[in-house]
Copies of this chain bind each other. A is one copy, B any other.
């Protein structure tokens, strides 16, 4: 199979064999890809499971990101969900639909990027299914193990502090750059193409007694809203507490935008947002960015955030 071949000229089994060759298996995989199902050894009795679907044209554009980027982003999005429960990712499955005119090289780059991102946390790709479809659809399931009680969205209490771990706003800045047809600042475009979630932070937060946690994927204020709603509390974020990195200032100036819009509205960096009973409980590497109070909803410095509307048409 040549990397330039359109998939319509590639044998289905040949493509599957190529994928399997790109996915190394670890000791905790008793049966890997190729049988009716994979068999995993998960030492703890509690298994964490999450699924996300990414669709071409809706979640990514093939002219803005390469196959490897889509693979990395799809893996990161799902690994991050396990992270947000305080779990460790163990194994992944990948369902794919690919158009027949797609180059084989795109699909192989996807698999390489996917495997690369999984390797960051020691997760293995244990199964998948690939079939022809009108557009690229990536449906990933991540399976993890828990070493502590799961950290839910519903545990925040009035008086808790709100803390953030990981880059936030960089990917949204990169997307704003790409949307306007630019390719720099390159560091932001790269942040959009290849997110760097804080994969070690979820377990650490669980061990430190985080009262609630979520990964930021819909947007920081929107996801703070999920924590507030599920916990039955109000959250106030402090704009001055966030780090506004230099490239975000630069892109804000170039696009005549407030860089805080990227930070408060952006959702593709997958940092973790969590609540802790006190500032003293917040682990190293986390930044306190707000507080929990009685009530409902999310405010920024006491005022509603003027971001995208919450009601989303299907």
Chain A interface (Cβ < 8 Å from any Cβ of B): 7-13, 15, 30-31, 34-43, 45-53, 55, 58-59, 81-82, 84-85, 87, 91, 93-98, 100, 126-135, 137, 139-144, 146, 150, 152-154, 213-215, 230, 311-314
Partner of A42, one of B30, B31, B47, B53: B47
Between-chain CB contacts (< 8 Å), 12 pairs: A13-B312, A35-B85, A35-B150, A36-B85, A37-B50, A37-B84, A38-B50, A39-B48, A40-B49, A45-B45, A51-B95, A53-B96
Given A8-B313, A45-B41: A51 touches B133 (CB 8 Å cut-off):
no
B35 touches A153 (CB 8 A): yes
Partner of A132, one of B45, B58, B94, B142: B58
A97 touches B129 (CB 8 A): no
Tally of this chain's copies: 2
B215 touches A313 (CB 8 A): no
Given A47-B39, A58-B131: A95 touches B312 (CB 8 Å cut-off):
no
Instruction: Report B-chain residues with C-beta under 8 Å of the C-beta of A96.
Output: 53
Give min CB distance, A139 to chain B, whole Å.
3
Partner of A50, one of B13, B87, B127, B152: B127
Give min CB distance, A61 to chain B, whole Å.
15
Pick the most buried of A31, A42, A137, A150: most chain B CB atoms within 10 A of its CB: A137
